[in-house]
Amino acid sequence: MTDSVTIKKPFDSHVHFRQGAMLRAVTPLTAAKFSRAVVMPNTDPPIETVDQAAEYKKEILGAMPQGSHCEPLMTVYLTKNLTAVEIEKGAKSNVCKIYGVKSYPYGATTNSQWGYRSILEAKEVLKKMEEVGMPLLLHGEVHMNESGGEVDPYEGERLFIEDILPRLLDSYPKLKISLEHLSTAVAADFIEKHGAEGRLVATITPHHLLYAREEAESRPLLRCKPLIKSKAEREKVRLLVKKGLPFVFAGTDSAPHPESKKFSATPAFGVFSAPVAIELYTQIFDELGVLNLLENFLSINGPNFYGLPPSEETITLVKKDWQVTEPVVTDEGEKVWPIGHKEHGLGNETLRWRVR
Ligand SMILES: [Zn+2]
């Protein structure tokens, strides 16, 4: 039985740091365990220029503890204000290189109201991204049908994979694309067939590997987009991970909200996992019997896609039961509950692995 594993320091290809007091509270948690993090731009207002990204990067670096080696990789939001000129500037910038452009479906998740109705409308920007090699990071869900009606949120990812993604791949044969937080069987099949290093990759969260719709629907802490799917879908996502493909890797999508927004009648979308994400991934890989694939998934495949070397530092995880008993508290006194918490998660949950 393996009870300890040492890997290169992980790479989080998808994290939300928010702003202000929340950012100051959560950034050190990611900085402690990850070598680099791709930072999502859905702040309010969104990050849509290189200068805004540079300002945001400063705020993030200011929240990192002294001596921290975690590098934030900045992104911009695909809004109608984003231009091809800005893409060119971001690709070349020494001060604040832009590592990707995030596309959100109109109206689908926190602060996503600035997006295009259809990604296919953003022709000039996509062409320029293809030319300079800047990745497109997709929240791959259809949220509204052509007549403006809401689609079943459990069907949104499937519709995107069947309708939009093939057209994107055809129209921009060299564009680097990452399908973020893959959550369905259809997406897993598509990526297994069409995924390719440096061209089409997918990231997977710990919560989409760990939980299922049956248990998630009544738990505010597990409410997120894409929604957590059925056990059968989760099995397909786990099988994809188990294949150890070089174009599949970790992106926590850690997305904190204060207690007041999470435990309300309409809980905000987003799972806060930064304090437990690496531990949960390790637990899942252990359950699947593929701990030997953990380092590629957490620490190698992600940097490869972004053209970066893996970390030279390492972390060690040990098999040791523990529970999350406290929330993170911001300097304004707001509580932020991570998943895995023994009262607010699924009830007396035990985590099996711990970072030493
Ligand atoms: Zn996200």
- The predicted pLDDT at position 147 comes to 76
> Which region among 136-145, 229-238, 271-280 has the lowest average model confidence (pLDDT)?
136-145
Kindly state the average pLDDT of the residues 183-195.
98
Residue positions counted in the chain: 356
- The predicted pLDDT at position 260 comes to 94
Give the distance (Å) from ligand 1 centre to CA of residue 160. Answer: 16
Structure letter (DSSP) for residue 324:
B
Give the distance (Å) from ligand 1 centre to CA of residue 170. Answer: 25
Q: Spell out where 139-282 has E strands.
A: 177-179, 200-204, 248-250
**DSSP reduced 3-state for 28:** helix
Give the distance (Å) from ligand 1 centre to CA of residue 269. Answer: 10
Write down the mean pLDDT value for the chain. 94
Give the distance (Å) from ligand 1 centre to CA of residue 2. Answer: 32
Per the annotation, binding residues are 14, 16-18, 42, 102, 139, 181, 253, 257
Whole-angstrom Cα distance, residue 82 to residue 101? 10
Give the distance (Å) from ligand 1 centre to CA of residue 7. Answer: 25
- The overall longest dimension of the chain from CA atoms, in Å, is 56
- The predicted pLDDT at position 292 comes to 98
Give the distance (Å) from ligand 1 centre to CA of residue 45. Answer: 16
Note if 253 is an active site residue: yes
Give the distance (Å) from ligand 1 centre to CA of residue 39. Answer: 9
pTM: 0.96
What distances in angstroms separate CA 210 from CA 89, 143, 207, one per listed residue? 40, 24, 5
Per the annotation, binding residues for Zn(2+) are 14, 16, 102, 139, 181, 253
Catalytic residue among 152, 170, 253, 321: 253
Per the annotation, binding residues for substrate are 16-18, 42, 139, 257
User: Domain containing 26 — which CATH number?
Assistant: 3.20.20.140
φ, ψ of residue 262 to 5 degrees: the values are: -80, -45
pLDDT band at 109 (very low <50, low <70, confident <90, very high): low
> Which region among 28-37, 198-207, 236-245, 339-348 has the lowest average model confidence (pLDDT)?
339-348
Kindly state the average pLDDT of the residues 337-343.
83
Q: Is the pLDDT of residue 215 over 70?
A: yes
Is the link from the previous residue into 28 a cis peptide, with omega within 30 of 0? no
- The predicted pLDDT at position 167 comes to 96
Domain count, the chain: 1
pLDDT band at 110 (very low <50, low <70, confident <90, very high): low
Kindly state the average pLDDT of the residues 82-92.
97
Range of the domain at 96: 4-355
pLDDT band at 348 (very low <50, low <70, confident <90, very high): low
Q: How many CA atoms lie within 13 A of 34 on its CB side?
A: 33
The pLDDT tens digits of the residues spanning 99-108 come to 999 998 876 5
